Chains A and B, each alone.
Chain A
Amino acid sequence: MAPGLIFRFFPKESPVHSLDPRFKILILVSLSISIFKASWTALILLLLLSLFLAVIGKLPLKYLFREFKGILLLFLLIFLGFSFSTPGESSFFPGTSRQGMELGVLFCLRLFVIILGGNLFLSTTPIPRIQAGLRWYFRLIPLLPAEKLAVLLGLILNLFPVLLEEYGRISEAQAARCFHRVRNPFKRILATVFPLLVNTLNRGNTLALAMESRCFTEKRSFASLQAGLSDWVTGIGSALLPPLLLFLL
């Protein structure tokens, strides 16, 4: 199994992969908006639905969760932030409140569902199709440079894995020199961020040259999109589900 599956396209043949990207964007937007008002029950249902879709999309969940470990620290920080700063009844741990802990878990769960949904979208949709879908929506807004924006967003999505890859390489090189023994967090951050920035800029520069030599332009061929009846039914149904759950639960 190759490393680096998070937020990366995972080529497979599945109903999730073949769903029209315009509907996937709609579902993602609907999920992102609804989730911040969703109750516990609605959240758990949405989480189960996302996991179900990841299974249908043939994503290797075991490996994905292993890579999600990297963001556990972020969740911990959010949880601690809420626990210590929210007023309420004191909990079993001094200085924290029960309400704060509940809020922290709720917020982390919301964030996790969004990350899972975003990952599901990116893992099952190739960037050219995402660009084509975005262009379709941007074209609905008058005066917006639809093609340029779609290509730009596609490039950002393309560069994100480069950043993760570079981070992985730097971490390995540092681990090989016993970097784990350095306890000072500032030293650790500096020793990672600086080479990451330099390497990413250098790699970005070479990538830009290589793209230029292959005639890169924002006025390029876009993937053609054709939505069938199944796309409409699945797409609209799934996009309506998060707000419906919000309303019912």
Chain B
Amino acid sequence: MPILEVKNLEHRFPDGTLALKGISLALEEGDFLIITGKNGSGKSVLVRHFNGLLSPTRGEVLYRDQPVGRNLLRVRQRVGMVFQDPDSQIVGQTVWQDTAFGPENLRLPEKEIQERVENSLKSVGLEHLKDHRPATLSGGEKKKLALAGILAMEPEIIIFDEPFEGLDYPGVVMVLTQITGLHKKGHTVVIITHEVEKSLAHANRLLILDQGRIVRQGTPAEVLPDLEIFGVRAKPYTPDRIGEMSWLQV
């Protein structure tokens, strides 16, 4: 049974612009899905339906067979989203406070909040910076902090919106190590990126969006040859070299 299912989704903005049309996909437990496509193809709009930040104009999104809108609190707890710009999602004045933001919203007892925050910071390697102000962190550390804030909610699915944007080589390696580590621990991972060469080796599924429609989806080997048709750079890689498409030493 899929954990997340999108059925014939359509999304139209209030000004009448059609952002998504006829989107259907199913996410299985343990999947590592990469959603790619040109700027403005609807990638971010699509994933914002996964945790109910946006509601479909037509069609439906189901989390474990239940419409997402039926229990938003549970869905947002289980489907975590790390946004593109970490600066605009940090709400705490210190690393610790920001990580505690989600668990505090869940009204958890203080002791549990403390445990979750400590575990999350430890798992992303930021425990030594817990009293620091987020503004003083590097780009890679801010992305890790954004991830720690999501991990403290104990999600099942983690969505990363352009996780490598603006990061230098060590920053990408740092974030990618976290992502692959979480996948190995059993989390279902969804990455939105147009830089597929950094992480495709780790994915088991690849999906291309173009003008709000799914134009290709399948295994990376099946979809890779068509990437450049839809404006995503794939050269010099070929399906037999997918294993090289990672910035980690695979």
- Residues of A at under 8 Å CB distance from B? 2, 4, 8-11, 126-128, 158, 165, 203, 206-207, 209-217, 219-221, 224
A206 touching B110 in the complex, CB below 8 Å, given contacts A128-B97, A215-B105, A221-B103: no
A128–B104 contact, CB under 8 A?
A: yes
B104–A126 contact, CB under 8 A?
A: no
- Tell me if A's interface is mostly helix, strand, loop or mixed: loop
B88–A214 contact, CB under 8 A?
A: no
Distance in angstroms between the alpha carbons of A214 and B99 in the assembled complex: 10
A221–B104 contact, CB under 8 A?
A: yes
A215–B108 contact, CB under 8 A?
A: no
Distance in angstroms between the alpha carbons of A214 and B83 in the assembled complex: 11
Q: Nearest Cβ in chain B — how far from A3, in angstroms? A: 8
Judged by a CB distance under 8 angstroms, whether B66 is at the interface is no
* Inter-chain pairs besides A211-B91, A213-B80, A220-B105, 11 sampled, C-beta below 8 Å: A4-B135, A11-B94, A11-B131, A128-B104, A211-B89, A212-B53, A213-B76, A215-B73, A215-B105, A221-B106, A224-B110
B131–A209 contact, CB under 8 A?
A: no
A214 touching B93 in the complex, CB below 8 Å, given contacts A2-B136, A206-B83, A221-B103: no
Chain A residues whose C-beta falls within 8 Å of the C-beta of B132 in the assembled complex: 11
Judged by a CB distance under 8 angstroms, whether B230 is at the interface is no
The 7 tightest CB contacts between A and B, nearest first, are A210-B89, A9-B93, A206-B88, A214-B102, A215-B105, A221-B104, A2-B136
- Residues of B at under 8 Å CB distance from A? 48, 51, 53, 73, 76-77, 80-81, 83, 85, 88-89, 91, 93-94, 97, 100-110, 113, 131-133, 135-136, 149-150, 153
Chain A residues whose C-beta falls within 8 Å of the C-beta of B109 in the assembled complex: 221
B89–A219 contact, CB under 8 A?
A: no
B136–A158 contact, CB under 8 A?
A: no
Q: Nearest Cβ in chain B — how far from A74, in angstroms? A: 25
Chain A residues whose C-beta falls within 8 Å of the C-beta of B81 in the assembled complex: 210, 213
Chain A residues whose C-beta falls within 8 Å of the C-beta of B101 in the assembled complex: 211, 214, 216
B91–A158 contact, CB under 8 A?
A: yes
Nearest A-chain residue to B79, judged by Cβ? A213
Nearest B-chain residue to A11, judged by Cβ? B131
Chain A residues whose C-beta falls within 8 Å of the C-beta of B108 in the assembled complex: 221
Chain B residues whose C-beta falls within 8 Å of the C-beta of A213 in the assembled complex: 51, 53, 76, 80-81, 83
B85–A206 contact, CB under 8 A?
A: yes
Nearest B-chain residue to A13, judged by Cβ? B131
Distance in angstroms between the alpha carbons of A210 and B77 in the assembled complex: 13
A215 touching B97 in the complex, CB below 8 Å, given contacts A2-B136, A206-B85, A207-B89: no
Nearest B-chain residue to A2, judged by Cβ? B136
Chain A residues whose C-beta falls within 8 Å of the C-beta of B133 in the assembled complex: 2, 8-11
B73–A8 contact, CB under 8 A?
A: no
Nearest A-chain residue to B98, judged by Cβ? A214
A214–B135 contact, CB under 8 A?
A: no
A214–B76 contact, CB under 8 A?
A: yes
Which of the residues B48, B97, B113, B150 comes within 8 Å of A214, measured between beta carbons?
B150
A217–B105 contact, CB under 8 A?
A: yes
B153–A210 contact, CB under 8 A?
A: no
Q: Nearest Cβ in chain A — how far from B126, in angstroms? A: 14
Distance in angstroms between the alpha carbons of A128 and B96 in the assembled complex: 12
